[in-house]
Structure 1
Amino acid sequence: MLLENDSQFTAHLPVAGRSPKTNLANVKIYMDKHYDQPLSIAELASEAGISPKYFVDLFKKTYGQSAMEYLTDLRINRAKRYLKESNHKLRDIALKVGYSDEYYFSRKFKKEVGVSPSDYAKNAKKRIATCSSSMIGQLLALNVIPVAAPIDPKWTAYYYNTLRTEIQSHLKMTDPYTSWRFEANVERLVHIRPDAIVGTDQISERDQARLADIAPCCFVPKHASDWRTQLRMIGSFLEREEQAEQWIHLYNQRAENARESVQKEVGREKVIVVRIYRQNLYLYSNPGIEEVLYGALQLDTFSDLSANAPLTLEQLVEMNPDRILVMVCPEAASRAYWLSLQHSVTWRQLKAIRQYQVHLITGDPWFDYSAVGVMRMLDEALLIFTGYCPNIYLDNVHGDSRAR
C-alpha cells in the first residue's frame, strides 16, 4: 500500500534541553514525512536548532551521508514503490516525490538506480525466484525482492524477519540445513512459474536441468568466485549491470570510510576471530571475514597461523592478541564450554580480556557472503571497533527505504 504524506509534522523542533543529535534524529523524521516538499539545508538546520555548517557536518558524521543524499534516497525509494505498485504517469510520480520537473527526475533516477524509471517499472514486474538462500543478498543489492526464496527463522533470520511478508513463496531450507530434499522446491517452483531463477552451482546438474525447464536460469559458482563476480553475473543475467556496479562502488566507498574510522581506533593492534565448537577453540576465518576484516578494514592479524586450525588456550596466551572476536556454535556443548572458559584464570589473563576487547559475533551476518551480507558485516565491524555505526543499510534494505 502506498504511503500518504502526513499533513502536519507534530514534533516541535528544536526541543529545549535536548542534544543536537536528538534534534537531528527529529529532523530525520521530519524529512521522512516531508520528502515531497522543497527542503533546504538552511531550513533543516533551523529545525535542528544549529547552524547550517554544523548541521551539514553533524548529519554526515552521524548518518554516513549528507542530508541531501539522504533526501535523494527517500525520494528515489518512494518513486520505486510508485513505479512498482501503481499506474501513475511519470510526471505525477515526480511531483509526489518532490520533483517539479519530470525530465530532471528521470535523469536523477537513472543516475541513482542505474536504469530509467520506465525500464525500472518494466523490470520490477518480472518475477524472479532463487532456490539458494545465499543468493537473496545478491538479488536485494540489485533491487530485486524475489517472488520465491528459501527463508527460515533459524537459518536465515535476517531475511526472514525483514522479508517474510514481501517474499510471496517461502521455499524449504534443504540439505545441509534440514532433512528436506531439493525436489520439494522444484515442485513448488513448477507451480509458481517465475520469469527467471537464480541459484548456485551447488545444485546438482539433474536439478539444474529441471529448473531450466521452468524458466531461464543463472547458476553462479559458489566457491570459485567472490561476491562481486557473482553480483556481476546475476546483474548481467537480469539486465541490471549498472545496479551491480553501483552497489560495488557504494560498498567500496563505505569500506574506505570505515577503514579510516577503524584504523584510528585499532591501529596495528592484532585482531583474531576465534570459533568455539564443543570443547575446542579454532582460529576462524571465512570469505566474509577475510573480505571485511582483513581486506576492507586492513586489520592486522597473525599471518603465520592457518585459518580454521585448532587452537589451544596455551597457544592463544602465547599469541596474546589485542582484540578477539568470538563465535560460539549454538549447540549446548559449545555454549557450556564458553561459559566455563570465561571463568578460566588463563583466559582472564589475556590482554584482550583485561582491556575489555572481546566481542561476540554470530553467524548472522558473518556467514552471509553476499553483497548485502558484506555490507552488514562492515556496519557491524564499525560498531564493534568504534562503538559507532550510522546503520544506514541495515534497516533500509527493503520496503520504503530500500538502499539504492
Structure 2
Amino acid sequence: MVDIEKNIKHNEYASLEGMLFKLREVEHIKSHSSEWKLRLQFVQTHMIFVASSGRGWLTIDGQFTEMRQGSVYVCTPGQLIEAAAHSFDERGFYHMRFDIIEDDGSSIDSMQVIKRNSTFPVKGEVIVSSLVSVNALCKSICQCLQDEDRLKRFRGQILFQEVLHTILQDALLVQGNDSEAALEYVKGYIEQHYQQELTIDHLAKVAGISTRHFMRLFKKRYGCSAIDYLAIYRIKEAQQLMRTSGQNRLRDIARHVGYHDDIYFRRKFKQVSGMPPAAFMKISRKKIVAYHFPNIGQLITLQINPFAAPADHPWTDYYKRKYQMDSVLPLSSNQSIKREEIRLAEPDFIIGIDILVPAGEQAMLQEIAPAFFVPWLENDWRTHLRLIAQFLDKSTASEVWLEKYDRKALFVREQIKHAFKDESLLILRITGDRLHVLGNRSIGTVFYDDLHVVPARGVDRINPDQQVTSDQLADFDADRFLLIVDEDALSQSTWRTLMNSELWRGLKAVKNSRVDFLPSYPWVEYTAFTHDLMLDEALKLWRNRA
C-alpha cells in the first residue's frame, strides 16, 4: 500500500517553513545564442526552466512536453531529463539549478544536508500569471550573481526566493486544493502501474479520498472515470507495441498491458480504437505516405503513424519525439525528387491535399500507389478526417474519435467558462510584417464553435485570412488576446515593435494582463489533431483561472 502522507503531500505548502533554498547556477540564453541543449541525464539538483521566449521541448522520465512561452518548468532530483530550446528574442530563456536544505527547527543540530529526495511542492509545468515579473526577476538575479560585490550576490539569492514565491503562488492558484494534487498523483500512478490490477477502491486509497468522492472528482477533472482512463492508457500502450514489435502475439501484448482475458481485451480495444486489434495491426503494417504537412496530423488522429512525411515541416520533430516516429522516411520539398523517393519506397497508400497537387502530378502518384487527395476548400476539418478514414477503411475509428472529441470539447467548455465568462477573445497571428486575425478554418473554430468563447467585435468568421493593421487592434475591443508569433526574424521584429508601442500597451487586454501565447506550430494547421491538442492547451491556460 502506498504511504499516502509521504507521497500525496496534502500539506506540502505548510512544510515550506522548514526549507532553505540555495541557487547554485543560473544560465541566461539570449537571442544571439544558438540552440541550447541539456543532454539526457539523471539530475542531481532541482531545476527551473523559464521559457521567457523561443521554442523548446522537455522530456521528464520519458514524458514529452513542448515548452511554451510564458510557462515555468520545475524538475526535481532523480528525474531523467532532456531538454532543448531555440529561437530566442532579447528576453531569452533561463535555466536555474538550486538545492533544498531542510531544517525542522528543533535545534541547530537538526539542520540537514542538501535534500535529494525532494519535498518541493511543485513539479512540472506552471503557467505564471505575469511572465514580465518573472523575467525581470531572472534578469536581476543574473546581474547580481555576476557582480563582484558580495552584497549584490546576496541580493541575487533574495530575488531567487521571490521567483520561487511567484511559482508557488501561481501553482497554488491552479491547484486550488489538496484533492487536485492527489488526483494528479493518482493519474501518474495509473500510468506507472497500468500493468497491475487496479480497482477504484485501491486508487481512492492511493489518493486518500473516499471512493465515492474520488470517482466524482476524477471524472470532473479529467472528463472520464479513473477506470476508463486506465483502459485508454492500456490500449495506447498496446497500440505502440503493435506498431513497433510486429512479431508479438496478440495475447502476449494483452498480458503485457494488464489484460488476462483475451476476449475482454479485444472488446476494450475496439471500444477505445474503433476497430478490432487484428485490424489495427493490419493497418499498422501498411506503408502510408503523408504527402503534405496537415496529413501527418490527420493520420495520427486515425492512429496511423505515417511511413513517410515531409522532412522540412517545422513540427516534424515534435511528432517524432511524441509518437516514436524515428523511422519515418523524410521526403524532399522538391516535387520530382519527392515522387521518386515515394516510388522507391513502394508505399501502400498516399494521402495528400487536392489544391496543392497539380492534376498531372496526382496522376503520376496514382501510378505508384492508390492515392487520395483531400478535397480541401469545400469541406471542414471533420469531413476531411471522415473522407481519409473512408478511403483507408477506418470510418468506424474516425466516428469513435469524433465522438470523443465532442465529449472532450464539452468537458473543456465547462472547465474554462468561469475564466472567460462573457469576455471576448481575439486570436492574433504575427507572420512577417503582417497581422492576421484567426477565425474561419483555424483554431478559431475550436474556441468560437466548440468552446463557445465570444469572438471579439469585428472578427470575420467567414474570411479565412483577415489581415489587420496595428492601428485597427483597438477597434476589436477584445477582452483577451491569444497571440501566435512566427519564428522568423521579420515576424519577431514586428512583434517587438508592436510590444513596445504605446498603442499595444493601451489595449484593454494588455492593461488587464489578459494576453496568452502559443508557439507557431502546429496551431496554424487546420486538422483534427491540432484541434484536439488545442483543447488540452485551453485547459492548461484557463482551468481554474478567473
TM-score (norm 2): 0.63
TM-fit CA distance, 1:64 = 3.6
Q: 1:286 to 1:155 in 2, by over 3 A?
A: farther
Equivalent pair of 2:456/2:477 in contact (CA under 8 Å): no
Equivalent pair of 2:10/2:181 in contact (CA under 8 Å): no
The one of 130, 139, 156 aligned to 2:290: 130
Equivalent pair of 2:2/2:206 in contact (CA under 8 Å): no
Match status 1:371 vs 2:545: no
Q: Distance in 2 between matches of 1:164 and 1:270?
A: 39
TM-score (norm 1): 0.83
Equivalent residues in 2 for 1:193-204, closer than 5 Å: 193-201=346-354, 202-204=356-358
- Show the counterpart of 1:41: 200
Q: Distance in 2 between matches of 1:124 and 1:278?
A: 40
TM-fit CA distance, 1:187 = 0.7
Equivalent pair of 1:42/1:52 in contact (CA under 8 Å): yes
TM-fit CA distance, 1:248 = 0.9
- Show the counterpart of 1:142: 302
Match status 1:97 vs 2:290: no
Equivalent residues in 2 for 1:298-313, closer than 5 Å: 298-302=452-456, 304=458, 306=460, 307=463, 308-313=465-470
- Show the counterpart of 1:236: 390
Identity over aligned residues, as a percent?
35
- Show the counterpart of 2:417: 263
- Show the counterpart of 2:437: 283
Equivalent pair of 2:484/2:517 in contact (CA under 8 Å): yes
Equivalent residues in 2 for 1:5-404, closer than 5 Å: 13-14=7-8, 17-18=11-12, 19-84=178-243, 85-152=245-312, 154=314, 156-163=316-323, 165-172=325-332, 174=333, 181-201=334-354, 202-278=356-432, 280-302=434-456, 304=458, 306=460, 307=463, 308-386=465-543
Q: Distance in 1 between matches of 2:419 and 2:214?
A: 25
Equivalent pair of 1:142/1:243 in contact (CA under 8 Å): yes
Q: What are the superposed Cα offsets for residues 45-91 of structure 1, whole Å, 9 maximum, x if unpaired? A: 21222222332233334434321111101221233244442444444
Give SS of 2:522's match: helix
Which stretch shifts more, 320-329 or 364-373?
A: 320-329
Equivalent pair of 1:13/1:48 in contact (CA under 8 Å): no
Q: Distance in 1 between matches of 2:349 and 2:2?
A: 43
Aligned residues: 374
Q: 1:44 to 1:91 in 2, by over 3 A?
A: same
Q: 1:24 to 1:97 in 2, by over 3 A?
A: same
Q: 1:64 to 1:196 in 2, by over 3 A?
A: same
Q: Distance in 2 between matches of 1:13 and 1:383?
A: 24
Matched to 1:51, the amino acid is S
Equivalent pair of 1:151/1:159 in contact (CA under 8 Å): no
Q: Distance in 1 between matches of 2:198 and 2:257?
A: 12
Equivalent pair of 1:152/1:160 in contact (CA under 8 Å): no
* Uncovered stretches (5+) of structure 2, i.e. residues with no partner: 13-177
Q: What are the superposed Cα offsets for residues 292-330 of structure 1, whole Å, 9 maximum, x if unpaired? A: 121111222245454544434443334321112223333
- Show the counterpart of 1:3: none
TM-fit CA distance, 1:157 = 4.8
When Rg is computed on C-alpha atoms for both structures, the one with the higher figure is: 2
Q: 1:156 to 1:95 in 2, by over 3 A?
A: closer
Equivalent pair of 1:45/1:52 in contact (CA under 8 Å): yes
TM-fit CA distance, 1:112 = 1.7
TM-fit CA distance, 1:287 = 0.8
Q: Cα RMSD (Å) of the superposition?
A: 2.8
Q: 1:318 to 1:110 in 2, by over 3 A?
A: closer
Q: 1:136 to 1:312 in 2, by over 3 A?
A: closer
